[in-house]
Structure 1
């Protein structure tokens, strides 16, 4: 007759590790420094020729109408002729009263546009004008101090949340390891690695 030994593995069970997702801003820690030192930003910060790139397969007259309609809706597509860099611009349309972002009245035959966005981790603003008939013009990128300050504050807040999550996980892990050691009658027990929160860019 064979005897059967039953072992309990309850004390060795590791509870599922919690996973936290922390949203991180899309900016780099030192935006201004990158804007001033990055070669692409240096080139795009110089006033240079730009062109409307939408509806290339359509006749010029139709492209003109579509460009003007898109501007009045608050968006357009342009490219820097010197570098081939394409930008999708979004801005407040004239109907909102914010003429500084899209102004058809500042200069006859032209539309003046300003559009803020994040590019390669840096808060920037495109500023320039486009001829309403030729669909070309001139513009440049500027460092957006105001938005950069806001994004820096978001980055700092997100890092604080991340560090709090890490400390919380480490505290829970330490308590679990102590309980595990007591349950198993061990004085020296190995550490269980802590899974740090997953940082998700948005």
Structure 2
């Protein structure tokens, strides 16, 4: 039986990933997850409101890391650079869990209800980034646009990282932001 709350949470997440991979998301219950983790259902619901959230629990750590990094950026840093730097500073949150991340993405891709939830969580993350930029003095319109584009860029980089062994997440994030920058610059030159 896990002794700490963090250990119980970790075991519940691992048990859920195993069961979803073995049986499928729809055929797994919260009771099954609790049983596999060696805890009771009450412990499961103390950590997660439902079986979907087991797959999205790590986003809280990423969110906290990102917002702290945005706040720490020097005044006057352009908003895209603020978010690029914050995303790079937060890659460690995902680097520590690459194998679980790959399993998680596969399970989400196979389950339409989870795809919808993943999109909602992504929109919430982009909105949180935009709010943090507004807190730095950006206009709401600019912050919303930059937050959405930067989160999509990060999401693209993370998907490539999961699918490609041997490279770090920060290298994919750097490449994705470089591609975004060069594409925007090419488009701007063609308009002029």
* Larger-Rg structure: 1
Asked if Structure 1 and Structure 2 have the same fold, meaning a TM-score greater than 0.5 normalized by the shorter chain, the answer is no
TM-score normalised by L of structure 2: 0.24
- Between Structure 1 and Structure 2, which shows a larger proportion of helix residues? 2
TM-score normalised by L of structure 1: 0.23
- Between Structure 1 and Structure 2, which shows a larger proportion of strand residues? 1
